[in-house]
Amino acid sequence: MDTLLTSEFIRRVPKTDLHLHLDGSLRLSTIIELAKSGNVKLPSYTEAGMNDLVFKEQYNDLGEYLQGFAYTCAVLQNAENLERVAFELAQDCIAEGVRYIEVRFAPQLLVSKNLSIKESVQAVAAGLHKAELAHNASSAVASGDDLEFGFGIILCAMRRFNKYMGTYYSHLLAILEETPEKEIFSVASLEMARVAVALRDNYGLPIVGFDLAGEEAGFPASYHRDAYQYVHSHFMAKTVHAGEAYGPESIFQAITECYANRIGHGTFLFSEEAIRDNTIKDRAGYVNQLVEYVASQRITMEVCLTSNQQTIPSLKSLSTHPISKMLERNLAVSICTDNRLVSHTSVTNEYEIAIKELAITPRQFRNIVIAGFKGSFYGSYNHKRDCVRKVIAQYDKLAKEFGVNV
């Protein structure tokens, strides 16, 4: 690690987390407490046991990585628990200098007899707002020594689902039992898109974007074209999990068919060998044009280093992570956590890894930090510009204090 980019400096500079899954970022102690009080069966009721059996340091693949979400979602099926977990997540982010987060989750996964989609979003917003109010009323913010904290909510549709993934999905599959599977996936995502817009426009909830998550290979974003057309037509920002477990054409599809403003992960952006479309003859040319388009349109890449290494078997060392190529090609890059619990990480930790393993320079570090705020779906454009100016001023002030060359 560059001796000037110390852990304390990294922790204190204002940061963002734009790719942050609520149901993957609970405190482990909270899961255990809520499971006990809600009679939710866990493999273990100790933190050591859960880390050994579920939330591991290394996973064999994405499927194993996702198994833990069955337990986190099980304790999030009432409003009280959701509000608490959202509040704690914001607290944890604030404590390490993160000053803007976009929390994403799939409300359809959490629907139960005790919880509707609207109630789940209201609860998450309430928890985040509670933490926001507490921080923004602090003396440090009042004196100008610290920046305000802000947040947005991104609602996720799922690329695929089955009847075991929740009440909403089991009911939908039963009702549409003669409908082709891909059409059912399309119905669910379009409904989620309509709800996202309605909750933002009719109820004033802080929904800033729409996402598509879940198993990528075999379940293309094109299934969800109608949902993305709907949110696009209603001026909602869009991100798509793409290029995490599939090749460059998945990213191409996210941009051309889903109008993506940002790409979640994008790990296989440069991977010519991962292209599976046999009609693409000039693979190098295809990748180059795609990269140039992403760069020129400032489509932000939401990079999650630890998560990628845990879920992509071919990524044996972070030294080979494509973030280095992304920076060489001047892409807009934001470093994110993905899942703070499942990946045992934080934003500060992700930056420390990038600096140590990938030799991120002080100049690159500053650019990535600022890119997080510029690439956010934060409020009005003028408000975001004002926020970015404040972030740059605060960063440069801290850099001078710590002797970091800007």
Check: CB of residue 287 under 8 Å from CB of residue 269. Answer: yes
Strand, helix or coil for residue 352: helix
Element (H, E) at 391: helix 381-402
Of the residues 244, 249, 302, 352, only one is catalytic, namely: 244
Taking the C-alpha atoms of residue 51 and residue 240, their distance in angstroms, rounded to an integer, is: 29
64: annotated active-site residue: no
Cα gap 62→243, rounded to integer Å: 13
* Number of residues that make up the chain: 406
Angle between helices 181-203 and 117-136 (to 10 degrees): 50
**Contacts (Cβ under 8 Å, ≥6 apart) of 217:** 245, 246
Cα(42)–Cα(27) distance, rounded to whole angstroms? 15
Contacts with 130 (C-beta within 8 Å, 6 or more apart), sequence order? 83, 87, 90
- Write the CB contacts of 18 (distance below 8 Å, at least 6 apart in sequence): 101, 102, 262, 300, 302, 334, 336, 372, 375, 376
Token match 């977990």: residue? 85
Catalytic residues: 244
